[in-house]
Chain A
Amino acid sequence: MSRIQESVIIRTVVRIMVPFIELFALYVIIHGAGGPGGGFQGGVIFGAAIILYAMIYGIAEGKKRVSDALDRILASTGLTIYAGTGLLCILFGGMFLQYGAVPLIPDDPAKVSKYLIDLVEIGIGTTVAAVMISLFFDVSPPESEEGELPDYEGAD
């Protein structure tokens, strides 16, 4: 256990912050349609929230929140949402990813397009978040040496 991980203040702050960061991530994903942001950025931020949690509370604790299996399924799910949307457009007679072809709201393909873009962004966000978490879990030191991660002062 490093000093940072032992610090009560940091632990508390992180515990409080993480849900807010996650919320912000969701906002960024949805906000992509109208301003800076989008699925990718949101996904990274969401992933960062979990990573932050795992850094402070340890990988094992982090894996309790997002297990390996869940992670893998989420990564696949995000892509499935995306590609599924594309295939959905084919089913309704459009080209692959031709959002306007889906008769969700008649006579307003732009509106449909907006909703489907949001859906797609959510898909991207899911995959990106899941992969970022899995990347961190894989790259960071294995559980047996847990706690050495932020303790880097000794290395000059």
Chain B
Amino acid sequence: MTGILDVVYAEYNYWIYVALMMIGFYAMIAKKNLIKKVIGANIFQTAIFLFYVSLADITGGTAPILPHVHGGEHVEHAADVIYTNPVPHCLILTAIVVSVSTTAVALALIIRIYNEYGSLDEDVILAARKSLQPEFSEYARQKSVDEVSRQ
């Protein structure tokens, strides 16, 4: 029974991760709202974590924790127990921490941006920056400088 279903399961898993990655990526680059971008980044990263964890999983395996935790006595573990691959778990633990750190910094930046420009919308911020520092054409800029220095 398990064979076919496992394949379906495995394939399905993979498609989900691709879909999640694309959703997150799209939000990161297409959304105008900065918070949305950060949400997208979170989804994007989590999708990659899902990929890693899926890699680690072994059908019929158990969590990579050896079974004699509290006794302290060494017990030979049964040979037929299959453990899932612990390496990706370890990597992803690290990656999650990185992800939350990035999010925190991003949010701090967002707060600062909001304090400066009073908006979280990329277009509004861009417009505000333009109005605060009008981008002279090169010629106009030089001319104005020349005029100032002539006086």
Q: What is A's interface to B at a CB cutoff of 8 Å?
A: 34-36, 38, 40, 135, 138-139
Contact = CB atoms under 8 A, between A and B. Distances in A.
A135 B108 CA distance: 9
B108 A35 contact: no
Main secondary structure, interface of B, reads helix
A138 B107 CA distance: 11
B107 A139 contact: yes
A138 B63 CA distance: 37
Contacts of A36: 63, 65
B108 A139 contact: yes
Interface of B: 63, 65, 69-70, 93, 97, 104, 107-108, 111
Contact of A40 (B69, B70, B93): B93
Contacts of A139: 104, 107-108, 111
Nearest to B104: A135
Given A40-B93, A40-B97, A34 B108 contact: no
Nearest to A31: B69
B70 A34 contact: yes
Contacts of A40: 93, 97
A35 B65 contact: yes
Closest 7 pairs (CB-CB, A-B): A34-B69, A135-B104, A35-B69, A139-B107, A35-B65, A40-B97, A139-B108
